[in-house]
């Protein structure tokens, strides 16, 4: 029996006692009163009073039973703790153990299972999964692992272990149960210890941020312990102060044999957590609602560097969909570019979504307003599920940046055929093309022959340039 089910059974038993004992006492008092007053002789009035009291008592009893059922501890589908009870239980467990690890475990292909096998089978799978997870921990002498369903296929697990041991067990579980109920399973997971955050909800939020960084199934393993509260505060301060470190990736133009485009990457400089890559700070920026501020600071920093280099050089960079769907952001672009004296035709904004976005109508209106100014747009990671031909059909796209799979898997005949077709289609529509991860002369010549407009990779430059070296090498408004 699951720990959650034991707790639920105990709760219902206690509730039954709290409901039943007062009723029994009330009925006993009433009967004693009747016996004592009438010496076993009951009048019609006494009978009416007795029936009324009994009716009220039974009604009250059923009301409490219904209340007890509605205020359950467990998720009815899986038998695990529901979210509200999960948080309460974890808070108690954390206080009672020196070491306590919280695990966010996601069934990453649950939507696929729902779509292809049906909701009923997926529900059954969730139930089996929870019991297998509980039995797994019991086999490793963890009898009361706290397992709760947090959302959809996301489960929170609490175990009285250090993070290292918790990770070892979780990796063993995932490698053991690659298939459940004749269904292939894909998992993602992240772990944190109780002293990494001020409370359990902050820690769980951090685990979701960590999980959002993952591109492939598995776990992101932090190299060192961080204070989550301090980290978030430092990220907010760095974004607000514009403490950004830009690096510029040279991109070769095959038609002119020059480098006239740089893709801009960014890192964040913090006081105590050092220099953070995007995968560390972007989830926090998005969750705390600082996307607009970050995008403004980033654009301003790029424009400050752009005005110091050759006017023929363009810069491509990512702006969050949140900002690009905000009509006010157009005014921000105008204000900053005008202040720094950077022409709009040097700006290439990369469009990137974490998932396919269906409602493109409003999005397109904002993009078209920017395009009228001269701003260009590049569709990043083209060929991935979140960057399909649908965007080219409905959005003002000027450049396509192919997903890395087209480069690293080019020897696959299907990949090569698709790439050739896409390049030809883009050429017919007047859309520029760019491939990345080109690391040899042979690959470079191959893509040049295919008609690719821009090439990026180690064969062009083995390292990006920081702002200082960019200005030193390409400085002068020639």
Instruction: Look at residue 49 and tell me if it is in a domain.
Output: yes
Residue at which a domain ends, from 223, 253, 268: 223
Residue tagged 């485009």 (tokens): 261
Q: How far is CA 288 from the centre of its chain?
A: 13
* CA separation for the pair 296, 319 (Å, rounded): 9
DSSP 196: G
Strands 218-219 and 187-193, by their bridges, are: parallel
Question: Averaged over 363-372, what is the pLDDT?
Answer: 88
Instruction: Look at residue 77 and tell me if it is in a domain.
Output: no
What per-residue confidence (pLDDT) applies to 64? Answer: 63
For residue 386, pLDDT over 70 is answered with: no
What per-residue confidence (pLDDT) applies to 144? Answer: 83
Instruction: Look at residue 76 and tell me if it is in a domain.
Output: no
- State the pLDDT confidence band at 393, using cuts at 50, 70 and 90: confident
Instruction: Look at residue 75 and tell me if it is in a domain.
Output: no
* CA separation for the pair 171, 461 (Å, rounded): 38
What per-residue confidence (pLDDT) applies to 22? Answer: 72
Question: Averaged over 94-100, what is the pLDDT?
Answer: 88
Report the CATH number that the domain containing residue 219 is assigned in CATH: 3.30.70.270
Q: What are phi and psi of 366, to 5 degrees?
A: -70, -45
What per-residue confidence (pLDDT) applies to 478? Answer: 46
Instruction: Look at residue 218 and tell me if it is in a domain.
Output: yes
User: What pTM did the predictor assign?
Assistant: 0.69
Instruction: Look at residue 385 and tell me if it is in a domain.
Output: yes
Are 425 and 391 in a shared domain?
Answer: yes
Q: What are phi and psi of 325, to 5 degrees?
A: -95, 5
Are 216 and 343 in a shared domain?
Answer: no
Are 65 and 110 in a shared domain?
Answer: no
Are 298 and 356 in a shared domain?
Answer: yes
Rounded to whole angstroms, what are the CA distances from 86 to 92, 193, 218, 241, 259? Answer: 10, 16, 24, 38, 56
* CA separation for the pair 324, 345 (Å, rounded): 17
Residue tagged 């799979």 (tokens): 405
* CA separation for the pair 212, 368 (Å, rounded): 30
What per-residue confidence (pLDDT) applies to 155? Answer: 96
Q: Are 186 and 108 in contact (CB under 8 A)?
A: yes
Are 216 and 291 in a shared domain?
Answer: no
Residue tagged 């290292």 (tokens): 164
Task: Tell me the pLDDT of the chain averaged across its residues.
Answer: 85
Report the CATH number that the domain containing residue 283 is assigned in CATH: 3.20.20.450
Are 51 and 92 in a shared domain?
Answer: no
- State the pLDDT confidence band at 223, using cuts at 50, 70 and 90: very low
Residue at which a domain ends, from 223, 246, 278: 223
Q: Are 347 and 311 in contact (CB under 8 A)?
A: no
Q: Are 438 and 444 in contact (CB under 8 A)?
A: yes
For residue 406, pLDDT over 70 is answered with: yes
What per-residue confidence (pLDDT) applies to 304? Answer: 96
Q: Closest by alpha carbon to 346, among 370, 314, 386, 305? A: 314
| Cα 449–Cα 402–Cα 313 angle in degrees, nearest 5 | 80
Q: For residue range 27-54, list pLDDT tens digits in order.
A: 777 667 666 666 656 667 766 777 777 6
Are 432 and 319 in a shared domain?
Answer: yes
* CA separation for the pair 369, 352 (Å, rounded): 18
* CA separation for the pair 88, 38 (Å, rounded): 52
Strands 347-351 and 275-276, by their bridges, are: unpaired
Specify the 3-state DSSP secondary structure of 379.
Answer: strand
Are 92 and 211 in a shared domain?
Answer: yes
* CA separation for the pair 55, 25 (Å, rounded): 15
* CA separation for the pair 246, 42 (Å, rounded): 93
Q: Closest by alpha carbon to 264, among 231, 310, 313? A: 313
DSSP 273: S
Rounded to whole angstroms, what are the CA distances from 351 to 318, 319, 328, 392, 428? Answer: 7, 7, 18, 11, 21
For residue 1, pLDDT over 80 is answered with: no
Q: For residue range 292-347, list pLDDT tens digits in order.
A: 999 999 999 999 999 999 999 999 999 988 888 888 889 999 999 999 999 999 99
Residue at which a domain ends, from 223, 239, 260: 223
Residue tagged 């690009």 (tokens): 324
Strands 244-253 and 454-455, by their bridges, are: antiparallel
* CA separation for the pair 293, 397 (Å, rounded): 25
pLDDT: is 383 or 17 the higher one? 383
Q: Closest by alpha carbon to 296, among 262, 249, 335? A: 335
193, β-bridge pairs: 101
Domain count, the chain: 3
Instruction: Look at residue 384 and tell me if it is in a domain.
Output: yes
Are 251 and 134 in a shared domain?
Answer: no
Instruction: State the Cα torsion 93-96-100-103 to the nearest 10°.
Output: 0
Q: For residue range 8-28, list pLDDT tens digits in order.
A: 667 666 766 666 667 667 777
pLDDT: is 65 or 465 the higher one? 465
Residue tagged 């469009």 (tokens): 351
- Enumerate helices (H) and strands (E) in the chain, giving the number of each: 18, 17
Q: What are phi and psi of 277, to 5 degrees?
A: -80, 165
Q: Which residues contact 98 (CB under 8 A, 6 or more apart)?
A: none
- State the pLDDT confidence band at 150, using cuts at 50, 70 and 90: very high
Are 199 and 250 in a shared domain?
Answer: no
Query: In terms of residue numbers, what domain contains 363?
Result: 230-474
What per-residue confidence (pLDDT) applies to 40? Answer: 57
Are 154 and 177 in a shared domain?
Answer: yes
Question: Averaged over 414-438, what is the pLDDT?
Answer: 93
| Cα 353–Cα 358–Cα 360 angle in degrees, nearest 5 | 85
Instruction: Look at residue 78 and tell me if it is in a domain.
Output: no
Instruction: State the Cα torsion 266-267-269-275 to the nearest 10°.
Output: -160
Are 65 and 93 in a shared domain?
Answer: no
Q: Which residues contact 67 (CB under 8 A, 6 or more apart)?
A: none
* CA separation for the pair 435, 453 (Å, rounded): 9
């Amino acid at each position: 029996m699951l720990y959650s089910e034991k707790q639920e059974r105990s709760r219902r038993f206690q509730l039954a006692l709290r409901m039943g004992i007062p009723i029994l006492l009330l009925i006993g008092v009433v009967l004693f009163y009747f016996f004592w007053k009438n010496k076993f002789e009951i009048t019609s009035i006494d009978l009416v009073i007795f029936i009324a009291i009994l009716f009220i008592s039974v009604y009250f009893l059923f009301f409490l039973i219904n209340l007890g059922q509605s205020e359950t501890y467990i998720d009815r589908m899986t038998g695990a703790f529901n979210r509200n009870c999960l948080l309460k239980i974890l808070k108690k467990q954390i206080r009672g153990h020196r070491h306590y690890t919280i695990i966010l475990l996601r069934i990453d292909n649950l939507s696929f299972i729902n779509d292809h096998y049906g909701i009923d089978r997926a529900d059954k799978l969730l139930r089996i999964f929870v019991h297998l997870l509980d039995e797994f921990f019991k086999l490793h002498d963890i009898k009361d692992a706290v397992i709760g369903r947090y959302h959809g296929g996301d489960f929170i697990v609490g175990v009285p272990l250090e993070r290292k041991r918790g990770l070892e067990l979780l990796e063993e579980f995932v490698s053991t149960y690659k298939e459940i109920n004749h269904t292939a399973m894909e998992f993602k997971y992240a772990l944190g210890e109780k002293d990494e955050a001020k409370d359990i909800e902050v820690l769980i939020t951090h685990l979701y941020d960590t999980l959002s960084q993952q591109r492939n199934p598995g776990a992101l393993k932090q190299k060192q312990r961080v204070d989550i509260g301090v980290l978030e505060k430092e990220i907010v301060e760095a974004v607000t102060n514009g403490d950004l470190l830009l690096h510029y990736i040279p991109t070769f133009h095959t038609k002119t044999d020059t480098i006239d485009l740089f893709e801009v990457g960014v890192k964040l400089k913090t006081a105590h957590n050092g220099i953070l890559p995007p995968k560390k700070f972007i989830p926090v920026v998005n969750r705390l609602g600082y996307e607009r501020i970050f995008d403004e600071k980033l654009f301003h920093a790029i424009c400050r560097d752009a005005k110091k280099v050759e006017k023929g050089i363009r810069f491509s960079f990512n702006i969050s969909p949140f900002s690009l769907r905000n009509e006010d952001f157009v005014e921000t672009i105008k204000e900053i570019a005008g202040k720094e004296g950077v022409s709009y035709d040097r700006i290439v904004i990369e469009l990137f979504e974490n998932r396919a976005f269906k409602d493109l109508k409003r999005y397109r209106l904002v993009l078209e307003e920017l395009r009228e100014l001269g701003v260009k747009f590049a569709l990043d990671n083209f060929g991935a599920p979140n960057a399909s031909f649908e965007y080219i059909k409905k959005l003002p796209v000027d450049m396509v940046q192919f997903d890395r799979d087209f480069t690293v898997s080019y020897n696959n005949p299907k990949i090569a055929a698709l790439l050739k077709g896409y390049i030809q289609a883009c050429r017919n529509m007047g859309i520029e093309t760019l491939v990345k991860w080109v690391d040899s002369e042979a690959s470079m010549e191959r893509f040049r022959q295919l008609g690719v407009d821009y090439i990026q990779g180690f064969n062009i430059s083995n390292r990006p340039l920081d702002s200082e070296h960019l200005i030193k090498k390409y400085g002068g408004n020639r």
